[in-house]
Structure 1
Amino acid sequence: MKKLNRKLIRGTNWALAGILSLLGFSGCDKIFQMEYGSPSADFKVTGRVTDEEGRPLSGVRIVAPNVDGKWGKQDYPSPHDTTYTDPDGKYTYRYNAGFAPDSLYLKLRYEDPTARPAYDSDSVTVGFAKGDLKGGDNRWFKGEAEKEVNVTLKRKKR
């Protein structure tokens, strides 16, 4: 009888562990969700990418490989994000920062995505300070900041 009880308890434990792990994994989401009450801020960089003659460059890839921010004394998480210029060479890069940082530096890399690039890559670091944020609600949304960065890509030397 004692042996049967142990087997029953052990079997029940395994079944519960299996069910709970299935439910737990299905409840996980790949997108990081902010909890209620997390201060946030929106940062936006707009601009235009042109060649040396001032003509707009369409389809230039703009990569944000690094976001350097400070939140109190801690470093800020860094996403790897990409956007492209439209036919007029214009682009908009948006970054929503949960846990609004005290300062934020977006490093943007501009590159020709074609198989045989005609233009050299260039990179720019755009800095935002706490004072740049406008339109916050003085509660959880700290506001939004926008900067314009126009870039001229140089032709590769042949």
Structure 2
Amino acid sequence: TAFFTLLGTITGCDYFEPRCEYGTPSADFVFKGKVVDKSSQKPITDIRIIHKTGYAPANDTVKTNANGEFELKFNDFPGGDHWIYAEDLDGTKNGGLYNSDSLTVNS
């Protein structure tokens, strides 16, 4: 009986070892949005859109087009927060002085 107990213990050890996984988990993200004037609902052009994560390499910046639309495409680790900041940098050139705004997206 001592042999079977030892054999069971040796073969049972593999059960608790973690499985080998290859590669790094990643996901392709696309954030699309439209920036409009709150009162008139007209699109706002040339608003700077900044995408930030908890680490600098994933930061990205785009501007809204003539329709107030923007698109951010990137590859990142799944899970975690992404921050989107909108800033008006050109004063009244785009039709007004707009306050900065932000939102958090959890993946």
Q: Does 1:110 align with 2:86?
A: yes
**Whole-angstrom distance in 2 between the partners of 1:44 and 1:59:** 20
**Whole-angstrom distance in 2 between the partners of 1:47 and 1:115:** 21
> What is the aligned-residue identity percentage?
33
SS at match of 2:53: strand
Unaligned runs of 5+ in 1: 1-35, 69-76, 129-158
Counterpart in 1 of 2:50? 63
Q: Deviations over 1:36-59 (max 9, x none)?
A: 933321111111100021000011
**Whole-angstrom distance in 2 between the partners of 1:60 and 1:94:** 17
Match of 1:80 among 45, 59, 82: 59
SS at match of 1:54: coil
Counterpart in 2 of 1:127? 106
Counterpart in 1 of 2:15? none
Unaligned runs of 5+ in 2: 1-21
Counterpart in 2 of 1:45? 31
Number of corresponding residues: 81
Higher relative contact order (CA 8 A, sep 6+): 1
CA RMSD of aligned residues (A): 2.1
Q: TM-score, normalised by structure 2?
A: 0.65
**Whole-angstrom distance in 1 between the partners of 2:34 and 2:68:** 5
Q: TM-score, normalised by structure 1?
A: 0.46
